[in-house]
Structure 1
Amino acid sequence: MARTWTAAGACMAVIAAGFYLSITNGMFDMSIGEVAKTLLGMGSSREHELVVFTFRLPRIVLAILVGAALGMAGSVIQGVTRNGLADPGILGINAGAGLTVVLYMFLFQGTVELTGWAAVMAMPMFGIAGGLLATSLIYLFAREQGRLDPQRLILVGIAIASGFGALTMYVSLKMNPNDFEMAAVWLAGSIYSANWKFVAAMVPWLVVIPPLLWWRARTLDVLQLGEPTATGLGAAVEREKNMLLFGSIGLVSASVAVSGSIGFVGLIAPHIARRLVGLRHRSSLPVSGLIGAAMVVLGDFIGKTIFAPAELAVGIVISIIGVPYFVYLLIRSKS
């Protein structure tokens, strides 16, 4: 337990450092004193309020929420499939959400006049619908004799992701240049358009699903012993797998809907968490969320500062780190 609290404290310190760097640095630099006065409403200027509350703070908060959701979802998916190389993107959820969002941009962008919440939430709702479509296809093809096979799940997910990816590319090529550029940025995984309505759309998922996943963490531990052993110990294996997978799919779909496809967070965060706190999911699950949040916050800060005034999508920054780590994991698994 001491290791868990130490790791959680270290992760929160990294998130706090990322928060400080992101909120004080940018095209308009601010001191920590100016930020504090703005947050407390102590006579700050209109420019400071605009920078903090409209541009930077919602972006940081959304990065924390998305990173936490992807980190926890990755931990659950790796636990259910008993495969340390499994990642939410491998299941095709990202690709499904990406396809429906690109279809929305292609079919409706500029032709439908929406206002208020509808204008902000139209694209996320299409993303969630795409994630649910991918989930339905996964369950349709991955079930064998009424049971959800973990290895078949990954193979079906890879096939669905490839098919949706090809369709997304085809639709993208039919777009006009402006919409194509917007779609490409979104598909790369970016939170540059973050706002408080996106944050509000993410909060319910983070309030409801993670406590349920943590509550079933002992079941994830039992599943690591193999399905026959888990059944012998009295676990309702199929029901538990369905519950855990639906929870993780909900987190991933909500994240992709507001931030695009940010890869490798769900792969890397659980591995680091297990190294820090061990294999018990009651410890590794929340730490995976904190590590994921730290990765996205720092990745977004790097992306918006290293090539300033241009911005690099956070998904690209994390992929630059994630690809070598994935190769390392492959080599390590073979040895």
Structure 2
Amino acid sequence: VGGVPMLFLFLSASVTFAPTNVASHMAIRLGIPRADDSLVSMVENIPRPDAGGFPFRSTILGLVSLQSALGLAGDRELGGVIMELMGQRALANDIDYFGTIVDCLFLTYAASTLFAQTGLVKEDPAAMAPKVTLNNMETQVTLNIGREPGTWMPKEWAASGARLSLPMNVRFSDEIVDLGIPGEESLSQAAGGGRFAKKLYCEGGSFIGADGMTIVKASGGAWSAYSSDVPGACSLNFFVDFPEAAERNDVTLPQGRVFFSGAAWECREALPAGIADGAVNMPNGERAGVVEGPDGVFILNKGGCSIKRNDFRNLWGAMGDVMLILGRFTVSEPVPVEKASETPQERAARERAEDAARRRF
């Protein structure tokens, strides 16, 4: 199908989850404009699910910055070069040029990331508006959680093959929100993450389990869209915060922040051939289509979802977040509860039949 290679090229960076590549963060963005303080003070803050926890990531970056700065000031790096140029010591062949380059790279990355995380250097919220706007777009996002190929979730998680389906109504907004320190890496093109994003409204949804209907509450989230290498296409990323965990069989929706990764296109002309008719295959073999949004914008109707798991093995995210595949999601037109064609009882019967057909209990 025409347009498939272009779609695959774009989706390879937007719906595949793996440990974040450290090298991708070495392209440091400099010269970030400072925001107007009065404008920033009006931005709503979104509480982090791990609020109150020790800031390992920022602390480690601070230590890396300090160590690199001390190394550069030493006699065998920039400090020694400066002393030789000033005639304060004799010329010597003991300068560690490789170490100097490494310390410069680490100091640049760590310091610029810390400045962005702490707000010492702020992105101007007024300059954040992407070409794609989803303001006031309402849609239904249906989580399809379960074991996926390549996931790093615990072996016992969803081992039976069961899945948890959770439809939720969401609304995208252009309201700017402050994500706090250290921001979210997946919602920004800036190295190490960004402090600001757009607000997403979501109150959660419900699913049918062995004990009947289970209500899953959500406290909203945030979203961002930024351009890709494909003309007219954007990477669409958002998250939803779940105050409590939810379970169905051996599938658990963890408490905390769930990240969604998809794609968007600025106009119909930018769409890959065939995708408007649902005739393009995703990398996993499923057919993909689009949902039309405001002002002629289109968003991909399928994508991947994940959760963040940072620990000592990746220095608590200091060198990039590690994302664990949680499942998939679909996007469709919002369906009011009173007009839904499928009752909770019918949905429960269908899900049980699907589990039984696949020997999932």
Q: Is the TM value for this pair above 0.5?
A: no
User: TM-score if structure 1 supplies the norm length?
Assistant: 0.25
Structure with the higher fraction of residues in helix conformation: 1
Q: Which of 1 and 2 has greater Rg?
A: 2
User: TM-score if structure 2 supplies the norm length?
Assistant: 0.23
Instruction: Tell me which of the two structures has the higher relative contact order, counting C-alpha pairs closer than 8 angstroms and 6 or more residues apart.
Output: 1
